[in-house]
Amino acid sequence: MRLTLPIPFKLSSSSLSSPTSTISTTTSIIELQQHIINSNKPMNQLTKLFKEISIKWSSLTRSNLKVIDQILDPKMKSKSLKLFVNTKLKGDITLDLVRDELIRLNPIGELDGVEVLELPEDVNRELFDQHQHGSLYLPYSFVVPGGVFQEMYAWDSFFIVLGLIRDKEIRLAKNMLDNYIYQIEHYGMILNGNRTYYLNRSQLPFITQLIKLIYPTIPTKHSQSWLRRAIKASEKYHEYWTTGNHLVQETGLSRFFDSSPDGTSPPEIVHEVDRRDGKTAHERVRKFFRDHHQAGIPDYDILQYYDPINDKLTEKYMNNDRAMRESGFDTSSRFGMFNAKVLDFNPICLNSLLVQMEFEIHELYQLLHENLLKSLKPNHTEVTEEDINQMNLKKSMKKTEKKSKLWKFKSIERIKLIRKFNWDSDDGMFYDYDYVKGERRKYLFGTCFLPLWCGFASKLESELVVKHALKGLEAEGGLLVSNVDVGDQWDSPYGWAPLQLFGVEGMKKYGFEEEAERVALKFNSMVLKTWIRTGELWEKYDVKKCNEIVDLKFGYATNEVGFGWTNAVFTRFYDLLSNEGKKKLSEINEDIQQAEIKETIEETQVEKVKDENEILGNLIGRINELDPNRREELMKKLSINEVSLKTNLDSDEDWIEVGRENV
C-alpha cells in the first residue's frame, strides 16, 4: 500500500484565492498539483484592485459628520483639537453657525474636546507655536491622499477628482471643487492644505479644469449662478499667482512664494523625522552643509544658506524651503540642491498651468456668453439685436465677450514668454528659467511634459521633448522624476503618478500613441504587481526596481499608503490603454496567479515531507523500544538511520505496513 496523509495548505498571503481548503487524501504530488489548480483558482486580481480603489474613496473621505477625524493631525506633536473658521473675507458664515452645525451632525459629546475658534487676523503673529495650530473649516466633504496626509490638498485633489468622476462619485467630486471655491473666498487662495500652517501658500493650480468637468453636472436651474461664482473665484486665484511676490517683473512670468515672515521654519517640518537616526529634515540639511561648506557644491554658495559658525540655516534658506513646499516638489535638486534656489526660478510647470488656466477662463466666459444666448432662444435660432435690447442683456453679453477675448490674449502672451525664457532650442527641451542668473537650468525633469499636456507646445517642440525626455526618463516602471539621483524623493529613481499623467496624456495629445501606451502600461503593471505583493497602493515608487521601497536621505523618509493620486491615475491609464494594452495587463495578472500556484505547490511539497518525516521519527522512536535484533532488522528494511532520518518512501511503498506489523 501507499502512504496517505491529510495535508492542510494555504495560498500565499498576497493571493486572493478562495478560502483555505484541506486535501483529505492525496496519492501523489501530481494529484496535489491538480487539486490546487482546479479548486483554488485565484480571483482576478485586476478586478479586485478596481473594486478596492472604488471602495477606498469612502475610507479616505473626511467630512463634518466625523469632525474629529479631519481635525486630528498625525504630522504634528500636539494632539489638541482646534478648528478655525474665517468669517471676515465673506460674510455668509458665523462662528455660531459652524458650531451649531457640527453639534447637530456629530454624536452627543463628540465635540466636547474640540475648540471651534475664530481665525486670527494676523495668523503669522498669533499662531507662532505649533501647539496653536489646527484645522481649517471646510463646508463640504473631501478625500484625503492617505497616510499622514489627512487634509484636503490643493494639487492632490485635482487627481483625486479625476478618479472620483471615473468611479461616478460625482457629488463628492463637486464637493471638492466647491471646497476649492470656498477656500478662495474665505482664505484668499486654494490652500496647500486645510491646516493653519498652510495659510501662507498654495500649490499648482488646476481649478479651471475641474470647473469644465463638473459644470455639465450642475442642475440647469443653478448652473448660471454657479458658473459665475466659479469664474469669479478662478480670476481671484489667478491674481494670487500673477501679482505681488509671485510675479517676476524682469520676465513677466510667475514663481513659487510663501508669505510667512522671513526666516521662519515651516511648522510641519517636525514630522519629517528619519526613523533611522531620529533627525529632522533640516538637521539632515545642516549636516550636509556642515560637511560640504568648505569644499562647496556646483549649485550655489552654501554660505548664503548656512551659517557654519552657529551651525544654523540662514533666513534665505528658510524662505526658499517654504517656497519649495508651494511647488509640491519637496524635496529635489531641481532648483539647486534641496531646491534652495526655488525663489530664483520661473518654473515651467507653474507657468504652463497658468497658460491653461487663462485659456480655460476664456472658454468659461465663452460658455457664459453662449448660455445667455440660449436663455433668449432655446431653439438656437438667430438672435437679433432688438431681442437682446428687449431682454436687457446686450451689456452683459458684451462684457462676457470682452472678458473672453482678454483671457485668451493673456494665455497667448504667456506662451510667448515661456518660449522666450523656458524653451531651449539647442537641447529641444522645456527647462525652468533662473532669472537671477539669466539662464535656463538644464535639469531634465518630468514637468517638461506640461506644455504638451496643456496643449500649447508646437509640433516640433513636442517631437523633441518626447524624444529627449523618454531617452533620459523612461524606466521599467514608467517615467523617472529626473535623471539625477542624490537621495531626494522628487528625483531618480522615483516616479510619481502626477508626472506619469502629464507625460502619458501629453504624448497622447500630440499623437505619440505608441509611446504613451508603453509608459502607461509600464506604470500600471508596476502598481498592480506591487499591490498584489503588498496589498497597498503607494504615494511613490522606485520605477527602476519597480517596487515601493524608498531610501531617502533628505525630506521626509517614508512612503505613504492610500494613495489618492495613484488610485486615480491607475484607473485613468487603464481606460486610456488600447484593447491590446488591457490584454497585456491581464496577462501580467495571470502570470502572477500562476506564480502563486507554483509557490503554493512548492510550499505544500515541503510540508508533505515535513509531515512524513515527523511520522517516521515517531515510528523510529517506537522501534527503539524493541529488542536490538528486531530493531536492526526494521531499520534495514526501512532504509533509514537514526542520524539522518533519510528515507526513500516512493521506492519502498510497503514500509508503513512493515512498521505496523513489527511495532
What average pLDDT does the chain have? Answer: 86
pLDDT in tens, 87-113: 876 567 889 999 999 999 999 999 998
Q: Please report which confidence band the pLDDT of residue 630 belongs to, taking 50, 70 and 90 as the band edges.
A: low
Alpha carbon distance 562, 327 (integer Å): 22
Over residues 252-275, mean pLDDT: 88
Who contacts 300 (Cβ-Cβ below 8 Å, separation ≥6)?
336, 337, 340, 341
**What pLDDT score does 37 carry?**
47
Amino acid symbol at 203: Q
Give the number of other Cβ atoms within 10 Å of residue 173's Cβ: 25
Q: How far is CA 32 from CA 346, 546, 613, in A?
A: 65, 33, 18
pLDDT in tens, 580-622: 999 999 888 667 666 666 666 676 666 666 666 676 666 666 6
In sequence order, what are the beta bridge partners of 143? Answer: 61
Over residues 632-661, mean pLDDT: 51
Over residues 183-212, mean pLDDT: 97
Task: Compute, in degrees rounded to 10, the torsion defined by CA atoms 193, 196, 201, 203.
Answer: 0
| Residue 20, pLDDT above cutoff 50 | no
Which residue, among 9, 1, 5, has the nearest Cα to 601 in the 3D structure? 9
Task: Indicate the helix (H) or strand (E) that contains 442.
Answer: none
3-state SS assignment for residue 3: coil
Who contacts 438 (Cβ-Cβ below 8 Å, separation ≥6)?
none
Contact predicate 206/355, CB 8 Å? no
| Residue 383, pLDDT above cutoff 80 | no
Please give the backbone phi and psi of residue 280, each rounded to the nearest 5 degrees, phi first: -80, 170
Angle at 321 between CA 273 and CA 195, to 5 degrees: 70
DSSP track, 137-173: --SS-EE--BTTB-S-BHHHHHHHHHHHHHTT-HHHH
Which residue, among 279, 157, 187, 196, has the nearest Cα to 567 in the 3D structure? 157
